[in-house]
Structure 1
Amino acid sequence: MAATHTQPDPAPAGGLRWLPLLAAIAIMLGITVWPHALSGPSGDADHWAAMALFWAMSAGFVAGVGFRPHFILWRAGFSGPACLIGIALALLRLWTLH
């Protein structure tokens, strides 16, 4: 009989997490409707604020649908607290520019 190789079970899914999911949806819709929110005083795009906010959006979607990556760094980078940190960094960046 041939040996079978099975993959380890994926990390357990946690179900929907409404707070990060709603934050991600709000970021997505907010930036779609008002893209100038991510601009500096000169009117140019602020890439640091955009990076932080889009990281928060990505983390919110990943954590919000209940996906939990295996690799510890991905798990930390796409978690609910990472979503909150990304929002805070974007707001801090925009607040210091204006």
Structure 2
Amino acid sequence: MLSLLLASPLALLLLIHPAVMLDGAGGYSHAQLMLVMWGLSAGFIHGVGFVPQQWLWRLLVHPAAAWLLMGQGYLMLLPDGAPGLMSG
């Protein structure tokens, strides 16, 4: 349930108002957004209760990775454009 509750507002915000993810220079960090989207996907997968059969997919959509990557997305929303996993 926690994964779904973390993923839903962030996904809605990205869909409705994507400009909130702009950096200080007015551009997007595509690498950072890719990781956040991976976290959102993993959060939805875990949130709805789907469990992949293959070990590689289980590792890629593990809830801990999802929470870390979604946390990065929430940090990007801070006013100072907090640097995250992929700063640059």
Instruction: Tell me if structure 1 keeps the 8 A contact 2:43–2:63.
Output: yes
Instruction: Tell me if structure 2 keeps the 8 A contact 1:59–1:78.
Output: yes
TM-score computed with the length of structure 2 as normaliser? 0.75
Cα distance in 1 for residues equivalent to 2:25 and 2:47? 35
Aligned-pair identity (%): 30
Number of aligned residue pairs: 79
Instruction: Tell me if structure 1 keeps the 8 A contact 2:38–2:66.
Output: yes
Cα distance in 2 for residues equivalent to 1:89 and 1:71? 26
TM-score computed with the length of structure 1 as normaliser? 0.69
Instruction: Tell me if structure 2 keeps the 8 A contact 1:62–1:79.
Output: no
Q: Residue in 2 aligned with 1:39?
A: 22
Distance change in 2, residues 1:88/1:25 (3 Å): closer
- Correspondence 1:53 to 2:36: yes
Look up the equivalent residue of 1:95 and give its one-letter code. Answer: A
Structure with greater Cα Rg: 1
What is the RMSD computed on CA atoms of the aligned residues? 1.8
Instruction: Tell me if structure 2 keeps the 8 A contact 1:21–1:60.
Output: yes
Cα distance in 2 for residues equivalent to 1:68 and 1:48? 26
Cα distance in 2 for residues equivalent to 1:80 and 1:36? 27
Cα distance in 1 for residues equivalent to 2:64 and 2:7? 13
